[in-house]
A and B are shown apart, each in its own frame.
Chain A
Amino acid sequence: AQSVAQPEDQVNVAEGNPLTVKCTYSVSGNPYLFWYVQYPNRGLQFLLKYITGDNLVKGSYGFEAEFNKSQTSFHLKKPSALVSDSALYFCAVRDILRSGGYQKVTFGTGTKLQVIP
């Protein structure tokens, strides 16, 4: 069974500092990994994804994430945080089995990012 963990309920970072939101996953096949963001009173928005290829993927709003197969991690990063980045961030995984078939997408519990002015 697939699973995804976001070990931090909340991350606080000062504006202008680099930020990292952590995500680890467990799959039996190969992972498709995604990050989404949910702003207050707004729906979830896609940020970026890793399917295959380069381990460092770049996404919207200056965010990037690094896929680390040995550590089964897919941490979200940004070099310089903005107050407007304050939101709820979700990591998600879809397990791609060698036997084929479509697996559901499993979401983490979310990490609240608070950027302090």
Chain B
Amino acid sequence: KAGVTQTPRYLIKTRGQQVTLSCSPISGHRSVSWYQQTPGQGLQFLFEYFSETQRNKGNFPGRFSGRQFSNSRSEMNVSTLELGDSALYLCASSLSGDDYEQYFGPGTRLTVT
């Protein structure tokens, strides 16, 4: 079974621009979560989607948004990029339910200059 895939793997953007990151979960997984990983802050939860509905949201500004499609694929968008948005963005998928472990993709490394 193919793992979680994220595209693109690396991205360089300029302050003020916007970016869209994509995540394809493991087949059959209906829950997709997004995290921001930085050396200083660790893994910070962005949002979680289940069956196209956002069911949890972290403490990030409104510039960060996401969505999930009917095939469970998910995208996250960051508008008006700031230098502090430079990070590794991780996507994780899991089967439905709270007690299932998450499977992580390799991440998208975003650099904002």
Contact = CB atoms under 8 A, between A and B. Distances in A.
B85 to A, nearest CB: 19
Contacts of B4: 43
Q: Which of B4, B55, B98 has the most CB of A within 10 A?
A: B98
A46 B102 contact: yes
Contact of A104 (B45, B99, B103): B45
- For chain B, the bracket of interface size reads 20 to 34
A60 to B, nearest CB: 11
B33 to A, nearest CB: 7
Given A34-B101, A43-B107, A46-B102, A107 B58 contact: no
Contacts of B11: none
B98 A96 contact: yes
Interface string A22-40: 0000000000101010000
Interface of B: 4, 33, 35, 42-43, 45, 48, 50, 55-56, 58, 90, 92, 98-99, 101-107
Given A43-B106, A104-B58, 8 more contacts: A43-B4, A46-B102, A49-B101, A94-B98, A103-B98, A105-B102, A106-B45, A110-B43
Interface of A: 32, 34, 36, 42-46, 49, 51, 90, 94, 96, 102-110
